[in-house]
Amino acid sequence: MIIRKKEHWLRMLFVWHGSVLPALLPRLALLFILSLGVVYFHGTVLNFKIPLNPAPLTLFGFVLALFLGFRNNVSYDRFWEGRKLWGGLLNTTRSLTRQAITLQHAGQGNEITDFVQLQSAFVFALKHQLRETDPEKDLKERLSEDQLQIVKQAKYKPAVIMNLMACWIQKARDKGNLDTILQARFDENLDKLSDILGGCERIVSTPIPYSYRVLLHRTVYIYCFLLPFGLVDSLGWFTPLIVVFVAYTFVAFEAIADEIEEPFGTDANDLALNSMCIMIEETITEMTGKEISKPAKISQNIID
């Protein structure tokens, strides 16, 4: 995710890094060349004048804008739901850590540290599962050798780590550090972790229907390719500039919607999962009384 400080309105007009413009330049260049050809031949193809004028294109463009707005709302809902789930993950890990520290009758520091490490491992394993990346390096730093061997063999590693957390709670109960009521309180937060895990998996495994995406994609580009034929008679050599500007608006909306509909990826506008994982780990570690290193100053341009 791109993390920027608020910038001056004039400078934002020229922002390049983090916008979708670099990916759109080849398509916009193609439309610009097409528009130049349409103007040069006065909207004629094989001696046949394309009978288009701005009126139907204006009406069609209005309808297309409504559909693009709906498409972006759907994608942003998925993005925001993902952000709320990770916000809930932060809250739940804090609650579990507080319970482990304060609700035990005779909990020991090493046992608390083990439980916090399991929570950190869960967070990083969830990130890697959502991004389909290798979690081994992060898990080695946070799990014991026995725990690592159990988790490495699992397909759904966060669920297995959550089971290890439940085993830690059961051992504390067997030792007499927890009573039945307090154990139930822990289980409530483990259930919340399970809900968060399932919610993230639901977003990843349920994309926007493909036929809907294809229909909107085709419609946007057909409209953009027809646009110069409708504007050439009224705008002349200004047609390429207006076509590129209008096409940039429509095509960029579609590109942004495609980028944020799966918010757990590594695109510039996806969620900053790396920073979230580190922040969650630091806050629950600090709750145990350990010092954490001061966070580095956020630069003007960070992709996470």
User: Is 11 within a domain?
Assistant: no
Residue 75 located in a structural domain: yes
299 assigned to some structural domain: no
Name the residue among 281, 272, 261, 258 with its Cα closest to residue 303: 272
304 residues of the chain, pLDDT tens digit each = 555 566 666 676 767 676 788 888 999 999 999 999 999 888 787 777 878 888 888 888 888 988 899 999 999 999 999 999 999 999 999 999 999 988 765 445 678 899 999 999 999 999 999 999 999 999 999 999 999 999 999 999 999 999 999 999 999 888 888 888 888 999 999 999 999 999 999 999 998 888 888 999 999 999 999 999 988 888 889 999 999 999 999 999 989 898 889 999 988 888 999 999 999 999 999 998 888 776 544 444 445 6
Q: Is residue 103, in this structure, part of any structural domain at all?
A: yes
| 2: in domain | no
Is residue 303 a part of any domain in this protein? no
Q: What pLDDT is recorded for position 115?
A: 94
Domain count, the chain: 1
Contact 230, 64 (CB under 8 A): no
DSSP β-bridge partners for residue 303? 2
Q: Is 72 part of any domain?
A: yes
- pLDDT (0 to 100) of residue 186: 92
Contact, 99 vs 185, CB < 8 A? Answer: yes
pLDDT confidence of residue 2: 54
CB 268 within 8 A of CB 1: yes
Task: Give tens-digit pLDDT for 218-264.
Answer: 999 999 999 999 888 888 899 999 999 999 999 999 898 988 899 99
Q: Which domain holds residue 102?
A: 23-41+51-290
Residue 6 lies in a domain: no
Gap between the Cα atoms of 122 and 225, Å rounded: 49
Q: Which residue do the tokens 């400080």 mark?
A: 5
pTM of the model: 0.86
Tokens (6 digits) for 176: 């007499």
pLDDT digit string, tens, across residues 251-268: 999 898 988 899 999 888
